[in-house]
């Protein structure tokens, strides 16, 4: 039985040592497996095109990052489990970033950064946090954690998800329009699926209160960048902080780089730690060997 690892050499080193220690009977191959028939598990960001024919005994494919949207699920045989990365550091870092971004939007940081460029000393009025309505799209692992991180500030919190959720002190919606109508700072933490591609568009922005702010942490392809720029220029939105774009990296001449109301970071909200990632994959392989459910297995019909 073998694991095939398809990622950077630095990560491979960490995974190799962790596997040798925890599962010495499982062979660990990097880049290529001498006998593809023995490969039961693949750890990768991109799925090999010939996955179905080359690895007929494959049981699970583990994503090296948090999402699985980079996989074409149609090319992965139905019996192969698709497993997303679950490691505690991803949530911890996302909690930090979402707090930073929400406070930046709440305290008008883009406006003050733009004024600093022209040496303009012009204080605006601060809004108390309980009067700022924050809405989180996606109430999964990360969305719920972000809500917990934002609680101590006293924001008026709401969340939106596909199935109904109950979270103490948070208004939970499955209907998008009423959720948007009460949201001054919108945080997107949805997975990229057929349903969420392009969801952050002009129609959605129009349903937010005028002057609302956007924090986008999901995936770049969920945002229609031209619609965001138009909404900012027309005042429908007043600011945005984006960690994900489409494409990544964003071309140097893209208007989002220089828009005065946008703060942009290069997809760094959360990064997978190799050691924690290896522990997650080892736990998954061990569970599979013991006939137990593998943590992080996605529902392939939903796409997340
Ligand atoms: P989860 O799968 O745990 O949660 C997804 C949430 O989104 C669920 O609440 C789900 O609803 C909801 N959802 C999915 N589709 C829809 C829809 N069509 N309409 C309404 N709600 C929907 O994911 P995570 O919280 O772990 O991660 C979310 C995403 O964050 C990842 O997929 C990834 O794209 C992104 N991410 C970004 C990072 C970065 O560095 N910027 C780092 C890590 C992740 P329900 O509860 O009903 O299932």
Tally the domains of the chain.
2
DSSP for 212-238, written as a single string: EEEEE-S-GGGB-HHHHHHHHHTTSEE
Q: Which residues are identified as catalytic?
A: 219, 267
163 and 19 assigned to the same domain: no
77 and 99 assigned to the same domain: no
* Residue with CA closest to ligand 1 atom 19: 162
154 CA from centroid of ligand 1 (Å): 24
pLDDT at 232: 98
Mutate to test the pocket of ligand 1, among 82, 146, 162, 268 (most ligand atoms within 8 A of CB): 162
75 and 201 assigned to the same domain: no
How would you label 169-205 residue by residue, b for 16+ Cβ within 10 Å and e otherwise?
ebebbeeeeebbeebbbbbbbbbbbeebeebbbeebb
276 and 260 assigned to the same domain: no
pLDDT at 60: 98
235 and 139 assigned to the same domain: yes
Could you tell me if 279 and 98 are in contact, meaning their C-beta atoms sit under 8 angstroms apart?
Answer: no
pLDDT at 167: 98
Distance CA 175, CA 265 (A): 30
pLDDT at 244: 98
Distance CA 139, CA 124 (A): 33
| Ligand 1 site, residue 139, Cβ cutoff 6 A | yes
* Token pair belonging to 120: 């303009």
Distance CA 302, CA 41 (A): 22
Q: Does residue 303 lie in a domain region?
A: no
Distance CA 264, CA 244 (A): 8
14 and 158 assigned to the same domain: no
Tell me: the pLDDT tens digits for 129-142? 999 999 999 999 99
Q: What are phi and psi of 19, to 5 degrees?
A: -65, -40
Nearest-atom index, ligand 1, CA of 142: 25
| Ligand 1 site, residue 95, Cβ cutoff 6 A | no
* Residue with CA closest to ligand 1 atom 27: 142
pTM, rounded to two decimals: 0.97
Q: Does residue 69 lie in a domain region?
A: yes
* Residue with CA closest to ligand 1 atom 36: 218
pLDDT at 295: 97
101 and 237 assigned to the same domain: yes
Average pLDDT, the chain: 97
Task: Kindly give the parts of the chain with pLDDT less than 70.
Answer: none
Distance CA 288, CA 1 (A): 12
Tell me: the pLDDT tens digits for 34-76? 999 999 999 999 999 999 999 999 999 999 999 999 999 999 9
128 and 149 assigned to the same domain: yes
187 and 200 assigned to the same domain: yes
Q: Which residues pair with 186 in a beta bridge?
A: 135, 214
* Residue with CA closest to ligand 1 atom 12: 138
Distance CA 223, CA 217 (A): 10
Tokens 């209160």 found at: 209
- Domain with residue 81: its CATH number is 3.40.50.720
Distance CA 201, CA 276 (A): 36
Say which residues have a Cβ less than 8 Å from residue 229's Cβ, sequence separation at least 6: 255, 256, 259
Q: What is the largest CA-CA distance in the chain?
A: 68
| Ligand 1 site, residue 242, Cβ cutoff 6 A | no
114 CA from centroid of ligand 1 (Å): 32
For residue 67, the enclosing domain spans 2-87+272-290
pLDDT at 62: 98
């Amino acid at each position: 039985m073998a694991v095939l690892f398809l990622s950077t050499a630095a990560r491979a080193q960490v995974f190799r040592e962790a596997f040798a220690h925890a599962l010495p009977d499982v062979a660990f191959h990097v880049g290529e497996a001498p006998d593809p028939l023995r490969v039961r598990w693949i750890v990768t960001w991109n799925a090999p095109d010939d996955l179905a024919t080359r690895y007929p005994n494959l049981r699970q494919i583990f994503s090296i990052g948090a999402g699985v949207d980079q996989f074409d699920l149609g090319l992965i045989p139905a019996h192969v489990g698709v497993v997303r990365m679950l490691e505690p550091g991803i949530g911890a870092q996302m909690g930090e970033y979402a707090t930073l971004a929400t406070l930046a939007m709440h305290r008008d940081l883009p406006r003050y950064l733009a004024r600093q460029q022209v040496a303009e000393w012009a204080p605006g009025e601060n809004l108390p946090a309980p009067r700022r309505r924050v809405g989180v799209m996606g109430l999964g692992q990360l969305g719920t954690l972000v809500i917990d991180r934002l609680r101590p500030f006293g924001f008026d919190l709401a969340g939106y998800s596909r199935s109904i959720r109950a979270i103490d002190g948070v208004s939970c919606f499955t209907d998008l329009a009423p959720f948007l109508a009460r949201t001054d700072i919108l945080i997107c933490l949805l997975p990229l699926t057929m349903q969420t591609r392009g969801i952050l568009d002009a129609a959605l922005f129009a349903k937010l209160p005028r002057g609302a702010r956007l924090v986008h942490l999901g995936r770049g392809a969920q945002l229609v960048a031209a619609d965001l720029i138009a909404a900012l220029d027309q005042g429908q939105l007043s600011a945005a902080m984006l960690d994900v774009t489409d494409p990544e990296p964003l071309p140097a001449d893209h208007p989002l780089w220089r828009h005065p109301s946008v703060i942009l970071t290069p997809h760094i909200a959360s990064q997978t730690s190799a050691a924690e990632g290896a522990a997650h994959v080892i736990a998954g392989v061990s569970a599979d060997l013991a006939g137990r459910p593998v943590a992080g297995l996605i529902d392939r019909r939903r796409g997340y």
